[in-house]
Amino acid sequence: MVNRDVRATLPGQEPLILMVTPAPDGAAGSTGSYGGQEVYVAMADGRSHGNPVHTGDLEEGAPPEPGDAATVLSVVAEAAQETVMELLWQVWPLCREHGIGMHPRPAGTSEDWCLGETAAAGPPVWWCRGGRTGGCHDASPIGELADTLRGKERRALRRGRRR
């Protein structure tokens, strides 16, 4: 789903991949390791940036890995965003209305929502803080940024898919 957004907003960019790498020596029980391996969202050439997509180790008493699809999608979208922004040196994805970067959040969250709160239970969306005067909003469900494109951009995307 995240790659649909990459394709829609970064024409010519190859799809992102999930890359499994061995955990650093001595890190088999540390945060971010999973059975001696770490999973990253990476560019097609294998370059990645940031933390692994799994965030805890049950042996260390961390909360269990997310088991629901919405949470997993949010975690992968956030890791993809970090990799794209750091390796391509650009803000991604951009809100079409405000021209600023967006972040993955559950649908319907407010400006003061904090990660880990359970009050917001909607599906994961790309969320925009809004302009200088506020106006935070859900810009698009993750995976559906193509629907926010202007007519000319949307037609170019469809032509690219047909090729």
CB atoms within 10 A of CB 59: 10
Q: Note if the bond before 104 is cis, omega within 30 degrees.
A: no
Q: What is the pLDDT of residue 114?
A: 66
Contacts of 61 (CB under 8 A, 6+ apart): none
Tally: H helices and E strands in the chain: 3, 5
Query: What pTM was computed for the model?
Result: 0.77
Q: What is the pLDDT of residue 115?
A: 62
Annotated domain spans of the chain: 2-162
Record the tokens describing residue 22, joined without a space: 């061995």
Q: What is the pLDDT of residue 31?
A: 47
User: Nearest to residue 75, comparing CAs of 119, 18, 155, 150?
Assistant: 18
Could you list the pLDDT tens digit for every one of the 163 residues in the chain?
Answer: 999 999 999 988 999 999 888 777 655 444 444 556 788 999 999 999 887 886 555 455 555 566 678 888 988 999 999 999 999 999 999 998 888 999 998 888 777 766 655 555 678 999 998 877 778 899 999 999 988 877 766 666 666 665 6
User: 139 near 128, Cβ under 8 Å?
Assistant: yes
Q: Write the DSSP assignment of 87-145 as a string of letters.
A: HHTS--SBPTTT-SB-EEEETT--TT--TT-SS--SPEEEEE--BTTB--EEEEETT-G
